[in-house]
Structure 1
């Protein structure tokens, strides 16, 4: 319940963060678009203003020449005013004054246009910076969104994996207790009962030797010997279930041969073993891991898939140790979560410890194939 609550809280937090960042990204993008629109308008206005400034410069040059000419005319009239009438003098003076006034106004208008041009250019530079910053922020926000949508989403996957490992750990403890109960029951019902029976029979042998004939005593000794042999067989079977002694003595392939033939005979099914590559001995850790993986896959095929035929292929090359277990069982849907996946989780844990890879392919009615590939120890 606690893990589920944490998982849901993280989902909500990440969803809110993604929502806020996406809104911020949209706002930044809108700011960028508004700035770009304003930038384009200002560029058009700047071009128009520059054209007007050029027009005013040309008009000012023409008007300056007219003023100079009018001033020159006024100077001549003023110097030889006795040769001109009063009306002529007044006209020349008024024309010069008018041209000077017009030139002054033109220069003021030109100055205002130049100031406007300079202000537009400053605004354009500022907008360019705003657009560049906005585009940079959009890129950075996109990176943040990518982290939120991809990397941060892996947090829940990690939590789910931790949750599965937690369940798997509890399942291991449960399985250990169950195995202990099973071993205790087997020892109690098998060797312990047999030893108690042997003790009683040994007392019976002693009594028979005192009260009856030697042949009767020998018969009892044979029965005791048979009981001891059966008890020894049961003890060896229990030890083999815990850990096959042949793994240490003979190696993986001979132990697999013996195990698979025993399982096939007990369950009355067909099990084939194909051994490819080198038969050199492996480190104990690798031999035990591969034996347990194949054992788990075979048991799954028998218990869950109801297989009548199982093929085990083991290949030992210089680079990889590969085991392929194929059956003709009922199979299952790969994308559906199964309740009995703790065996598979255990297999994955064993493979991960040796940096290997586990692949399971199955379809309903098409059987199952389990592929284990582990890098060879260097």
Structure 2
């Protein structure tokens, strides 16, 4: 058994090192992208000033060229009234101004194209930085879980066979989480980004045809799609680790989480009695994850249409109950002891608390949690 314990500990240590290295690499990508963004943004500001200057110069040249053409027309109509030198001077001036105007317009087009190219590139880099920062946050969550929860679970499991099975469940859960994230990224931000690329090509073709109004309209659509993509990315990040938990505390975070779910899934009622003071981070994280897991089980596995969440926080303990009207399950059936429920028991045990899950097929499920505050 000791040999198997050491093997699992070795695997966990290797996983931690691998995740740390991945976090460093993603962070470097984010930093490099941010530097590139800053450099290109500076170039864009310079280009915009140049475009403005060139447009003003083009307008002046166009006016001068128009005056010169009119003068040339007058000379041509009254050729006999002007000396040969005067005629040549008027012609040369008109020709020179027209040539300068063409050169200036070519320069303006080049600057505009470069400006548009940089603006598109900046949007792409901004999205890349967002994704990289999102990944860094996710990896930090994984590291925290590996360093804290995995280590404590490893110390608590003494039976070699149970430990082996638990390790397999962990790998299975990790793969399932990766598949879920992959599906969400593919169906959400990735699909939206593909549409944005298509729309940007439409903008490019429309602009080249000279239909400025349609190009501007398409750009508005592109901006709206970008905002939707950012919303999807932030939603995925929030599902993994809500930042409000660190900033605001347990109760506001649960409120925000339930509000998000109500918009998409089912009717969830949240009531609470709470002290104003904050709990230690270990309690807030554990309680949020326990409530989150209970709600997700009710939605995904029990197909509940109504969920009631109650939290009571006193100086000595925290009590939470999550009740749903879903399909329920037979508690005596071993297959229903999923990794999620095992993980909930482990979290509560680590904090010297108690958890009771009452369920029966067709009557819904009630999760009761009590955790003492040391």
Matches within 5 A, 1:1-378: 163-268=161-266, 270-377=267-374
> 1:189 & 1:236 partners in 2: Cα distance?
15
1:105-144: CA deviations, max 9, x gaps? xxxxxxxxxxxxxxxxxxxxxxxxxxxxxxxxxxxxxxxx
Deviation at 1:235, TM superposition (A): 0.8
Are the counterparts in 2 of residues 279 and 316 from structure 1 also a CA contact under 8 Å?
no
> 2:309 & 2:170 partners in 1: Cα distance?
26
User: Aligned residue for 1:36?
Assistant: none
> 2:184 & 2:366 partners in 1: Cα distance?
33
Scaled by the length of structure 2, the TM-score of the pair is 0.53
> 1:297 & 1:303 partners in 2: Cα distance?
10
State how many pairs are aligned.
220
Are the counterparts in 2 of residues 168 and 345 from structure 1 also a CA contact under 8 Å?
no
Q: Which runs of 5+ in 2 are unaligned?
A: 2-155
Instruction: Quickly say closer, same or farther: Cα 1:220–1:316, change in 2 above 3 A.
Output: same
> 1:220 & 1:346 partners in 2: Cα distance?
49
Deviation at 1:162, TM superposition (A): 5.1
Instruction: Quickly say closer, same or farther: Cα 1:193–1:326, change in 2 above 3 A.
Output: closer
Deviation at 1:239, TM superposition (A): 0.9
Instruction: Quickly say closer, same or farther: Cα 1:304–1:223, change in 2 above 3 A.
Output: closer
1:275 aligned counterpart, secondary structure = strand
> 1:317 & 1:335 partners in 2: Cα distance?
34
Deviation at 1:318, TM superposition (A): 0.7
Deviation at 1:286, TM superposition (A): 1.9
Q: Which moved more, 1:257-266 or 1:329-338?
A: 329-338
Scaled by the length of structure 1, the TM-score of the pair is 0.52
Instruction: Quickly say closer, same or farther: Cα 1:239–1:351, change in 2 above 3 A.
Output: same
1:307 aligned counterpart, secondary structure = coil
> 2:244 & 2:337 partners in 1: Cα distance?
30
> 1:279 & 1:164 partners in 2: Cα distance?
41
Are the counterparts in 2 of residues 260 and 271 from structure 1 also a CA contact under 8 Å?
yes
Are the counterparts in 1 of residues 329 and 336 from structure 2 also a CA contact under 8 Å?
no
Instruction: Quickly say closer, same or farther: Cα 1:278–1:204, change in 2 above 3 A.
Output: same
> 2:213 & 2:239 partners in 1: Cα distance?
39
**Higher-RCO chain (CA-CA 8 Å, sequence separation at least 6):** 2
Instruction: Quickly say closer, same or farther: Cα 1:317–1:159, change in 2 above 3 A.
Output: closer
Deviation at 1:340, TM superposition (A): 4.4
Deviation at 1:323, TM superposition (A): 0.8
> 2:179 & 2:292 partners in 1: Cα distance?
21
Deviation at 1:216, TM superposition (A): 1.5
